[in-house]
C-alpha cells in the first residue's frame, strides 16, 4: 500500500507479541492503562506508517504518537466510547455517525467494521491526517462515508489549531504552543448546518465529539440537529476543570430531551451513571435521548 512520502510496513515481531499478549488478557477494560504504564511510547520512531488488521480489514496507522501507538498495539482507543455508540445503533437500519474530531480514525474504524450498514461522516481539521483516514475509509466502508477536512463551530471562518508534538489527538483551538516541536495550523471552521446541507446523509443518529475544549461551540452549532429528533446518542469528553462548559452543554441537552450519563470504566464492564454534574475520575459522557433509553435494550443494560 502506497501513501504520500513512502510505503507502509508491518509491526516488528516484538510489537506483534506485545499486541497479542495485551489483547489476550481476560479483562474488558484497562489494557490501555497497562500499555501506558509499561510501554507509553513507540519502541522505534518510524518514517513509515504500519498496517494492522481490525476485524479482517487492513488499516494504515502512523504509530508515532499516543493515539497511533494504542491503535496499532490494541486495535482501539477509547473502547468504552465505541461500545456505547455501537449499542445505540440499530443493526437493521442505515444509520449515520458523525465522528467530530476523528483524529486518526480509531473510533470510526471500530464502528465501521462492527456495523456494516453504518454511514460514516468523519470530520477532522488536521490536513496531515486526511490521506490515511481516507485510505482507511475506502478500505473499510467504500460507498458509505464522507470526509470533511474542517472543524465544527457556531461561527464559520478560520482559526489557528495548536498540535502537540507527542499527541495529535490533543490538538486544540484553546491552547498555546508549549514545546518547540508543537505545530500550528490554520483550519477551516464550518457550522453543523453547513456540513448537513453538503452531506447526502442528513443529520446523524449518533455522534462522537472530541474537540479538546471547543465542546461548547460545537454543541451550540448542533442545536438544529438536537431539535430535529434524529440523533439518539452523543458521546463527548469533559474534564474536571471544564465545569462551566459542562453546565452549558447539560442545559442545551436537557432543553432538547436528553439525559446525561457518565461513562464509568471498570475492568469487567462499561457502566452508564446518570448525572447532573461532573463525576470524579470520569472524562467521557453520553447524552441519550429520553425516548431511546427503554427502546435500546443493549444500551439500557449499561445503565447502573
Contacts of 143 (CB under 8 A, 6+ apart): none
Contact indicator for 232, 88 with CB cutoff of 8 Å:
yes
Query: Looking at residue 166, what is its pLDDT?
Result: 59
| Residue 70 CB coordination number (10 Å) | 24
Query: Looking at residue 173, what is its pLDDT?
Result: 62
Whether this model's pTM surpasses 0.75: yes
Residue ranges of E strands in the chain: 2-3, 6-7, 50-54, 57-61, 96-100, 119-123, 145-148, 151-152, 157-163, 183-190, 206-209, 233-237, 258-265, 270-274, 284-289
Q: Please state, in angstroms and rounded to a whole number, the distance separating the CA atoms of residues 213 and 174.
A: 6
Q: Report the pLDDT averaged over residues 248-261.
A: 93
Report the SS3 class of residue 91.
coil
Band the pLDDT of 102: cuts 50, 70, 90. very high
Query: Looking at residue 162, what is its pLDDT?
Result: 80
Q: Please state, in angstroms and rounded to a whole number, the distance separating the CA atoms of residues 152 and 193.
A: 10
Query: Looking at residue 47, what is its pLDDT?
Result: 76
Give the chain's end-to-end CA distance (angstroms, integer). 45
| pLDDT, tens digit (0-9, with 9 covering 90-100), for 211-225 | 877 888 999 999 999
Report the SS3 class of residue 185.
strand
Q: Please state, in angstroms and rounded to a whole number, the distance separating the CA atoms of residues 73 and 65.
A: 12
Query: Looking at residue 224, what is its pLDDT?
Result: 96
Query: Looking at residue 298, what is its pLDDT?
Result: 85
127-134 contacts at long range (C-beta below 8 A, 24 or more positions apart):
127/185, 128/168, 129/102, 129/103, 129/104, 129/105, 129/168, 131/3, 131/4, 132/3, 132/49, 132/60, 132/61, 132/62, 132/104, 132/105, 133/102, 133/104, 133/105
Write down the H helix ranges in 4-129: 13-24, 31-38, 66-74, 79-87, 106-114
For residue 105, give the C-alpha cell.
Answer: 480514525
* Position 262 pLDDT exceeds 60: yes
Q: Give percent of the chain above pLDDT 90.
A: 62
Contact indicator for 63, 21 with CB cutoff of 8 Å:
no
| pLDDT, tens digit (0-9, with 9 covering 90-100), for 114-144 | 999 999 999 999 998 999 999 999 999 999 9
Q: Say what the alpha-carbon torsion angle 91, 123, 50, 55 is, to the nearest 10 degrees.
A: 0
Amino acid at each position: 500500500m502506497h501513501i504520500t512520502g513512502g510505503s507502509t510496513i508491518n509491526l516488528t515481531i516484538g510489537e506483534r507479541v506485545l499486541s497479542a499478549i495485551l489483547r489476550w488478557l481476560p479483562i474488558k477494560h484497562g489494557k490501555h492503562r497497562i500499555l501506558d504504564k509499561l510501554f507509553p511510547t513507540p519502541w522505534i520512531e518510524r518514517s513509515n506508517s504500519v498496517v494492522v488488521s481490525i476485524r479482517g480489514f487492513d488499516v494504515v496507522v502512523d504509530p508515532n504518537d499516543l493515539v497511533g501507538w494504542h491503535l496499532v498495539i490494541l486495535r482501539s482507543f477509547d473502547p468504552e466510547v465505541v461500545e456505547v455508540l455501537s449499542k445505540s445503533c440499530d443493526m437493521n437500519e442505515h444509520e449515520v455517525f458523525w465522528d467530530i474530531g476523528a483524529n486518526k480514525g480509531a473510533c470510526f474504524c471500530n464502528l465501521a467494521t462492527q456495523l456494516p450498514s453504518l454511514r460514516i461522516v468523519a470530520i477532522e481539521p488536521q490536513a496531515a491526517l486526511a490521506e490515511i483516514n481516507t485510505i482507511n475509509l475506502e478500505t473499510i466502508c467504500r460507498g458509505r462515508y464522507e470526509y470533511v477536512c474542517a472543524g465544527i463551530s457556531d461561527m464559520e471562518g478560520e482559526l489557528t489549531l495548536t498540535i502537540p508534538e507527542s499527541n495529535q489527538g490533543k490538538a486544540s483551538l484553546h491552547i498555546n504552543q508549549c514545546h518547540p516541536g508543537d505545530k500550528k495550523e490554520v483550519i477551516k471552521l464550518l457550522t453543523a448546518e453547513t456540513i448537513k446541507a453538503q452531506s447526502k446523509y442528513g443529520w446523524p443518529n449518533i455522534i462522537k465529539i472530541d474537540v479538546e475544549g471547543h465542546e461548547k461551540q460545537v454543541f451550540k452549532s448542533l442545536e438544529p440537529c438536537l431539535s430535529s429528533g434524529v440523533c439518539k446518542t452523543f458521546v463527548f469528553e469533559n474534564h474536571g476543570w471544564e465545569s462551566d462548559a459542562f453546565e452549558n452543554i447539560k442545559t442545551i441537552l436537557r432543553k432538547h430531551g436528553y439525559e446525561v450519563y457518565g461513562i464509568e470504566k471498570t475492568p469487567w464492564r462499561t457502566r452508564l451513571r446518570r448525572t447532573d454534574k461532573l463525576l470524579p475520575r470520569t472524562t467521557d459522557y453520553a447524552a441519550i435521548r429520553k425516548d431511546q433509553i427503554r427502546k435500546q435494550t443493549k444500551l439500557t443494560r449499561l445503565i447502573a
